[in-house]
Amino acid sequence: MIGQPSQLCALLDTLCPMHVMVDPTGHIRHAGPTLIKVLGGAPVRGRRFFEMFELLRPTMPCTMVALRAASGQRLHLRLRDGSRSEMKGVLMPLPDGPDGALVVNLSFGLSVVAAVSRYDLTNADFAATDLTVEMLYLVEAKSAAMDASRKLNLRLQGAKIAAEEQAFTDTLTGLHNRRALEPVLTRLIEAGEDFALMHLDLDHFKQVNDTLGHAAGDHVLEVVAAILREETRKGDTIIRAGGDEFVLIFAPLIKAGNLNDIAARLIRRLEQPIAFRDQICRISASLGSTLSHDYPDPAIERMMEDADCALYAAKEAGRGRHLAFTPDLRPRAPSDRAAARQRA
């Protein structure tokens, strides 16, 4: 048996500090201490339940008969005050009640994190068995752990980008190295973008290296890299493929005629004497190029071979010039190609 009404209220205040007891007339008879705090501390006794709470689910008329019928069901409510805080609830009729009063127990559900700040709730506002405080602890602890993980991820990401850049960069000239070739071409081909592929070999570079030394050679390569950068557009790719071999990728595509102009300008600038200490270095360049739109299905290897083929034809024809690839340049047998390489 439950004793005096005041004893019942004290019991409920401890076990369910967010409960509200509603008279059969729909007026509030008693509310738990936490709920009173949430409602702003104003007296709630005697106010109508449906004036303070809007029942969102289940959908039903705002009558005590309908409310009683929802006993034991999950309720979804909203405060009608300025906060419009949403709450979960469950109600049961008061046992042995001569008058048929209801007890509605409430909680904040997932909005509890916001509610705790809004109403300045403390440990003491929750029942000792309520896991809300543990949940708040977990939310705070996990967001701290998540922040630490995010920082670590950002740092690793930065290190990865730096390592990749290093892996794709030629340390002497700062240009891309051979490893960058395939990813760049693959991306262009997959995107279906038209582009021009140009191979460039320095002429007479070996003489510079042999007669003036490696320091002079390195200096020449740096000057060459600067010229290549100046004579190409921002989006074009310049790769130092090996010793004195360079690959230029022009994307978006330049007209074949323009490509010839660019090649001529490159050769003209590369042929200008380069001073190194008190010496003068003279080089030139041979170039071969091919255009992706000349291929029904552009493939990296094939285009590289054809650009190479045009390059060796340019060398054959006397160096210091540019040739665009045409099918008749293709060597008849592999041995021709090897011979051409040797002569170059």
Partner 1 sequence: MHGLINRAIEMFVRDTYGRKAWVALAVRCDLGSTEFEAMLTYDDAITPALLRGLAREQDKPVETLLEDIGTYLVSHPSAERVRRLLRFSGDDFTEFLRSLDDLPARARLAVPDLILPRLELREHNLQNFSLKVCHGADIPPVFGHVLVGLLRAMADDYGALVLLDHKGGSGGTEVICVNLLESAFAKGRSFALGQVPR
Selected from 7, 63, 71, 122, the binder of partner 1 by CB under 8 A is 122
Q: Note whether 123 binds partner 1 by CB under 8 A.
A: yes
Selected from 10, 66, 148, 280, the binder of partner 1 by CB under 8 A is 148
Cα–Cα distance for residue pair 237/335, rounded to 1 Å: 32
Selected from 45, 74, 80, 142, the binder of partner 1 by CB under 8 A is 142
Q: Note whether 14 binds partner 1 by CB under 8 A.
A: no
User: For residue 268, what are the contacts with CB-CB under 8 A and spacing of at least 6?
Assistant: none
Selected from 57, 155, 233, 302, the binder of partner 1 by CB under 8 A is 155
Catalytic residue among 13, 244, 306, 308: 244
Restricting to residues 21-50, name those near partner 1 by CB under 8 A: none
Q: What is the DSSP string of 29-46?
A: EEE-HHHHHHTTT---TT
Residue type, 328: D
How many angstroms separate the most distant Cα atoms in the chain? Answer: 115
Q: Note whether 129 binds partner 1 by CB under 8 A.
A: no
CA 266 vs CA 236, 252, 343: distances in Å: 15, 19, 23
Q: What is the dihedral of CA 185, 187, 190, 191, to 10 degrees?
A: -120
Judged by beta carbon, residue 141 or residue 280, the one nearer partner 1 is 141
Cα–Cα distance for residue pair 120/242, rounded to 1 Å: 69
Q: Note whether 145 binds partner 1 by CB under 8 A.
A: yes
Judged by beta carbon, residue 113 or residue 212, the one nearer partner 1 is 113
Cα–Cα distance for residue pair 206/222, rounded to 1 Å: 15
Are β-strands 245-250 and 237-242 bridged in parallel, bridged antiparallel, or unpaired?
antiparallel
Active site residue 244: yes
**Beta carbon of residue 108, minimum distance to partner 1 (angstroms, whole number):** 11
Residue type, 327: P
Q: Note whether 258 binds partner 1 by CB under 8 A.
A: no
Selected from 92, 144, 256, 299, the binder of partner 1 by CB under 8 A is 144
Judged by beta carbon, residue 66 or residue 139, the one nearer partner 1 is 139
Q: Note whether 157 binds partner 1 by CB under 8 A.
A: no
Task: Report how many residues bind partner 1 under the rule CB under 8 A.
Answer: 26
Residues forming a β-bridge with 301: none
In the numeric block, the tokens 């004893």 are attached to 7
**Beta carbon of residue 151, minimum distance to partner 1 (angstroms, whole number):** 8
Left, alpha or beta for 279 (phi > 0: left; psi -120 to 50: alpha)? beta
Binding window for partner 1 (CB under 8 A); candidates: 11-19, 87-95, 110-118, 214-222:
110-118
Binding window for partner 1 (CB under 8 A); candidates: 97-105, 137-145, 166-174, 269-277:
137-145
**Burial (0-12, 13-18, 19+ Cβ within 10 Å), 260:** middle
Binding site for partner 1 (CB under 8 A): 113-118, 120-124, 133-134, 136-138, 140-145, 148-149, 152, 155
Catalytic residues: 244
